Structure 1
Amino acid sequence: MSASFQAPAAPVKHTARWRQMTGNLMGTRHGAIGAVILGTLALIAILAPVLAPFTPLQQTSGSLAPPSAQFLFGTDNIGRDLFSLILYGARSSLLVGIGAALAALLVGGTIGILAGYFRGPVEAVMMRVIELFQTLPVIMLVLCAVALFGSNFWLLITAVALAIWPLEARLIYGQFIKLRERDFVAAARVAGLSTRHIIFREILPNAAQPVIVQIALDASVAILIEAGLGFLGLSDPSMVSWGQLLFVAQDYMDSAWWMSVFPGAAICITVVGLNLFADGLNEVFDPRSTRGVGGLQ
């Protein structure tokens, strides 16, 4: 009788674990606060046209008006309602953060997977590329990219992603180094499963936990970089962003404090929310935690 190999059973029921993770996340103090902050910001970004009393280009009757019942956050130097600008700015700032973090995951994840799974010459080449990018100061890399290609919004996301992807690459590389020799991967090779299946169905789901945490941290870094570029006047002038509002506020620090305080507060709240969310995920993923789901292996 001839024997045939069967595909190895999944090491865990991933769907059940992720469902448990979501529930446990809301049971953590930091994770729950971070999730509420991010959820609120997402709703604000989506509903900005409904919530904002004015459009971004609409000018009101007075410029540099202080916060009042009519203008909650005051107005800027040309009479635009700052509250409306903050709401619309959430769209571009969040999009830069999430878009750059996901793009960094795509680039860094691909290189980390290739280096961690195939090893040998592929690993040597990929690791040298990662080290090259890590030696370059992040802000200088982004400034050079903006200077060469302009401050188009999508090019800005690409430039920020290229500056932060080495973090994702090293993280995924380390996870693949650890997991590629595990028993369930060896069983998949013996069963004759393809390299693609082993990478994407066996190893990658088990490497996802720290990567998810890193995405949240990368998004906060990306938002800060975009805010810094906006403060220097290098953001896309066609879109409202919190960094761009800080750039305009520089000349009115003494006479109109609200022009810098409210955009700065929005950036701080968003970054704090992302970091609290990442802390909550860390607690959930920590096998030593009473709420932890442990490893997926």
Structure 2
Amino acid sequence: MGTDGRALRRFLRNPSAWLGLLVMAAVLLMAATAGLFYPGDPQGMVAKPYLWPGQDPAFPLGTDNLGRDVTAGVFHGARVSLWIGVVSAAICLTIGTLVGAIGGYFGGWTDDLLTRLTEAVQTMPSFLFLIVLVAIFQPTLTTITLGIGLVSWPTVARLVRAEFRRLRGQDFVLAARSLGFPHWRIIFQEILPNALPPLIVTTSVIVASAILTESALAFLGLGDPNVLSWGMMIGNGRAVIRTAWYLSAVPGALIVLTVLAVNLLGEALNDAANPRLGN
């Protein structure tokens, strides 16, 4: 309990943590209140096209080429972008942790087989592989989320494998084995909690990368046309970027801020969890 308290104090003393929390709180508030402030279809035409930000108080961020409210799109887009980032990261962490933990714990031919599998996936250009997957199975929100998770797990697997190989010979693991603990208990209750700190920053990077990857897919026209994400808004505005640059700049700035906030939180959590970096 005392260790948790010291970690929390280190986290709260970190200015980066507060900055990341404030930005993420704002983004989460946007996502949570999108249906309250903008209950209609965010892709519905509600005004004249190309109203610039501040030109009409009813539409603070203006309208796009079809007369859609940019503010409504930004609020609803926060939901989609955060969903893709969190869910695809969860898929990536689940697969990568299982592969890395099993290989690193058992070693031998099991480790060799899983290592070769990880290397085979990692040698593929991940973004091109993702484009192929999305093109084959149609660009839906589910397909994009699953695809990002499926092409991102090798990095997690290699990290977890390295941690398990380092920890499997420690005294607490040997003691658990001598007590007859089953393998699954040693893996998930003894070793994995001690391997979590290095995964914290990696998780934040995965979430941020997933948001950026979805934006890149949408920019290429491979986003889900039935939902509005920040990436989709950037893609819709690329044709008029010289005359109505705000259509791409507004969601682009939000993506940058969100990615920065996630990375700041990840670094702050890592500093708090690692006593060597604390004060």
Cα distance in 2 for partners of 1:255, 1:33 equals 33
- Counterpart-to-counterpart distance in 2, 1:219 and 1:98: 6
Deviates more, 1:199-208 or 1:57-66: 57-66
Task: Provide the C-alpha distance between the structure 2 equivalents of 1:267 and 1:79, rounded to a whole number of angstroms.
Answer: 23
- The residue number in structure 1 matching 2:220 is 232
Counterparts of 2:229 and 2:201, CA distance in 1: 25
Aligned-pair CA distance for 1:138: 1.6
Q: How far off its partner does 1:28 sit?
A: 0.8
Q: Is the 8 A contact 1:54 1:81 kept in 2?
A: no
Q: What amino acid does structure 2 have at the position aligned with 1:274?
A: V
1:110 pairs with one of 91, 98, 109:
98
Number of aligned positions between the proteins = 277
Using the alignment, how far apart are the partners of 2:260 and 2:137 within structure 1? Answer: 31
Q: By how many angstroms is 1:18 displaced?
A: 4.2
The one-letter code matched in structure 1 to 2:266 is A
- Structure 2 CA distance for partners of 1:18 and 1:44, relative to 1, 3 Å: farther
8 Å CA contact retained: 1:34, 1:277: yes
1:124 aligns with 2:112: yes
Runs of 4+ that moved beyond 2 A: 15-24, 51-55, 285-291
| Structure 2 gap segments, 5+ residues each | none
Q: Does 1:50 align with 2:47?
A: no
Contact 1:116/1:174, CA 8 A, preserved across alignment = yes
Q: Would the aligned equivalents of 1:209 and 1:285 in 2 still touch at CA under 8 Å?
A: yes
Give TM-score, length-normalised by structure 2. Answer: 0.95
List per-residue Cα deviations over 1:121-169 (Å, max 9, x = no partner).
0000000011111111121111011111111111111110111101110
Residues 61, 43 of structure 1: alpha-carbon distance in 2 compared, 3 angstrom cutoff:
closer
1:64 counterpart = 2:50: yes
- The alignment partner of 1:288 has SS state of helix
Normalised TM-score (structure 1): 0.89
Letter in 2 for 1:85: G
Q: Distance in 2 between matches of 1:219 and 1:203?
A: 24
Q: Which moved more, 1:237-246 or 1:64-73?
A: 64-73
Whole-Å separation in 1 of the counterparts to 2:219 and 2:7: 38
**Is the 8 Å Cα contact of residues 47 and 63 (structure 2) preserved in structure 1?**
no
The one-letter code sitting in structure 2 at the alignment partner of 1:27 is R
* Aligned-residue RMSD, C-alpha: 1.5
